[in-house]
Amino acid sequence: MRFTQAATRYGIPKGTLYDNILGKSRRMAVLDEAGLTANEEKAVLDFCCETSSSPYNRRTKKSLPEVLSFVEKLRRKRDPAFKFIGLTGFRWWWAFCKKYTIVSLYYDGAPKVKHLKTSSDNNSDDDSLEDLKLNRNVQ
């Protein structure tokens, strides 16, 4: 049975079916795993979005490593061994953004230029770095 058919038949909104079947509740459970208190979550929200000066601001220019470092420092006050491992930090940030409807405006200004080497290319890695620097200056 399709989502739309089940929604119509059982009177359940399609979004609820999607979330329950695709695991939204499990994706949001990572917030509990980080173990932040309500005050710590407010501190993170203020760090990311500067809500103390703009209470309704839900945009951030902070990078993921900056945010995770801030959260780890907060948590280490209570648990010195706390650390995000693997994708846990990214998953936590994703769920936190969903919970507080945060829009990330972070932009890494470095252009993604790949240097493609051919079999006849005898450039060293140092030459490739020089080419990349020159490309940045030209752009």
Q: What is the pLDDT of residues 86-103, one digit of tens each?
A: 888 998 998 899 899 999
- In this model, does residue 118 exceed pLDDT 60? no
Which sign does the torsion angle of CA 80, 59, 139, 119 carry?
Answer: positive
Per-residue model confidence as pLDDT tens digits over 54-85: 888 899 999 999 999 999 999 999 999 999 99
- Domain extents in the chain: 3-104, 109-139
| pTM, rounded to two decimals | 0.62
Mean pLDDT of 98-124: 66
Tell me the C-alpha distance between 27 and 95, whole Å: 7
The residue assigned the tokens 């930090």 is 89
pLDDT (average), residues 96-112: 81
Neighbours of 91 (CB within 10 A): 18
The predicted structure's pLDDT at residue 113? 53
